[in-house]
């Protein structure tokens, strides 16, 4: 799958992240924009900028692209899917710590 590059600014530092094209398109639809349009790119970039800084602070690093994909996926997925996944993940984590 193709990647879409975004330039995100953390304080005075600009970093480039790469995100799967499908996630960018789905997020554009969620934000009521036509995937692939310049407007969609701008709106998704603004959402990523705000979300990454809100959740990571003003610190970028090697895992910024991975974090962006995680936040996009969690935003796009419906509540039922997220709850099921979180339940499974917690059960998996708790079973590892109890052994």
**What pLDDT digit, counting tens, does each position of 21-64 carry?**
999 999 999 999 999 899 999 999 999 999 999 998 877 777 89
Strand (E) or helix (H) holding 93: helix 79-97
Q: What is the 3-state secondary structure (H, E, C) of 4-56?
A: EEEEEEECCEEEEEEEEHHHHHHHHHHCCCCCCCHHHHHHHHHHHHHHHHHHH
Q: What is the pLDDT of residue 99?
A: 58
Write out pLDDT tens, residues 16-25.
999 999 999 9
Find the domain containing 88 and state its range: 3-97
DSSP bridge pairs for 8? 15
Q: Are 48 and 70 in contact (CB under 8 A)?
A: no
Tokens of 50: 């705000």
Our count of domains for the chain comes to 1
Write out pLDDT tens, residues 61-94.
778 999 999 999 999 999 999 999 999 989 988 8
């Amino acid at each position: 799958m193709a990647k879409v590059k975004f330039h995100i600014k953390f304080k005075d530092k600009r970093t480039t992240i790469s995100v799967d094209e499908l996630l960018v398109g789905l997020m554009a639809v969620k934000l009521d924009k036509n995937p692939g349009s310049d407007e969609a790119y701008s709106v998704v970039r603004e959402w990523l900028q705000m979300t990454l800084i809100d959740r990571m602070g003003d610190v970028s690093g090697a895992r910024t692209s991975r974090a962006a994909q995680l936040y996009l996926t969690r935003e796009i997925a419906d509540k039922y899917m997220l709850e099921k996944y979180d339940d499974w993940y917690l059960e998996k984590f708790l079973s590892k710590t109890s052994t």
